[in-house]
């Protein structure tokens, strides 16, 4: 039987490109996002692929809806072999105009939205002692960066969450991976008003992600050059790190 994948945040960008790639390789791919129309277009576009795409709209901030969608995927397509929890967004924040609602929105979507999907997935996968889950975070979770206080906070939380769960899941038959992309050309990054080093095209990023999903390594990261720079930044003493990140503060 063909393998079954479920991808959230699949109406555009990395999630969409990954869904298309997996369908072309024969997977039955359930795709979820808030935009039903975009998901249906994606489903139709893959009708001649060796695999298939199945639109299953979902707002991941609704925990009950997330559990119901997972149940629907498994009822209609079979047990989920590979889940990619990719739903998320970015809101730039400035210290001079900090808005509580911006933080709440990103926590609900990026962090709790992932947990809403993770909890029912783990209940099913640990019961059958099989399955793979990839949580999409970001290299922005490695160290605090100007304007990324809310976004980076949620991504750092996802990295920590995955690190905390993995040792236990290794003994329960479930493979957990964390995905830390750098800059990928998507509708989200198109809004960025600053230069983005080592910017990847979305199809190249989807190829890198898909290759990583076929391994058992914990962290999938791309592009590697930016990831290495961010890993070094994470290890620097605070005074030196702040001397560097201070240069990234946008000018008023």
* Catalytic sites, residue numbers: 151
Q: What is the DSSP string of 37-76?
A: HHHHHHHHHTTTSSSEEEE----TT-HHHHHHHHHHHHHH
What is the phi/psi pair of residue 55, to 5°?
-75, 125
Asked whether the CA dihedral 221, 161, 143, 16 is positive or negative, the reply is positive
Q: What separation in angstroms does the CA of 214 have from each of 13, 55, 210?
A: 20, 24, 7
Closest alpha carbon to 124 in 61, 87, 80, 64: 80
At what angle are helices 13-24 and 36-45 packed, to 10 degrees? 30
């Amino acid at each position: 039987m063909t393998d079954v994948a479920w991808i959230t945040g699949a109406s555009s960008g990395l999630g969409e490109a990954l869904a298309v790639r997996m369908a072309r390789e024969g997977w039955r791919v359930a795709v979820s996002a808030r935009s039903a129309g975009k998901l249906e277009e994606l489903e139709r576009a893959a009708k001649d692929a060796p695999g298939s795409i199945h639109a299953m709209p979902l707002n991941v901030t609704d925990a009950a809806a997330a559990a119901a969608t997972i149940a629907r995927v498994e009822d209609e397509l079979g047990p989920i072999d590979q889940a990619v929890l990719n739903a998320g967004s970015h809101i730039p924040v400035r210290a001079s105009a900090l808005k509580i609602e911006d933080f709440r929105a990103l926590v609900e979507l990026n962090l709790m939205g992932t947990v809403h999907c993770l909890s029912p997935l783990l209940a099913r996968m640990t019961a059958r002692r099989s399955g793979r889950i990839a949580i999409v975070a970001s290299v922005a979770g490695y160290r605090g960066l100007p304007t990324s206080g809310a976004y980076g906070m949620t991504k750092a939380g996802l990295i920590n969450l995955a690190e905390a769960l993995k040792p236990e899941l290794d003994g329960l038959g479930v493979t957990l991976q964390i995905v830390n992309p750098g800059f990928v050309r998507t509708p989200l990054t198109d809004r960025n008003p600053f230069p983005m080093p080592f910017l990847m095209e979305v199809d190249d990023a989807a190829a890198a992600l898909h290759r990583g999903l076929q391994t058992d390594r914990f962290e999938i990261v791309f592009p590697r050059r930016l990831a290495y720079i961010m890993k070094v930044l994470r290890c620097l003493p605070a005074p030196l790190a702040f001397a560097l990140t201070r240069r990234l503060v946008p000018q008023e």
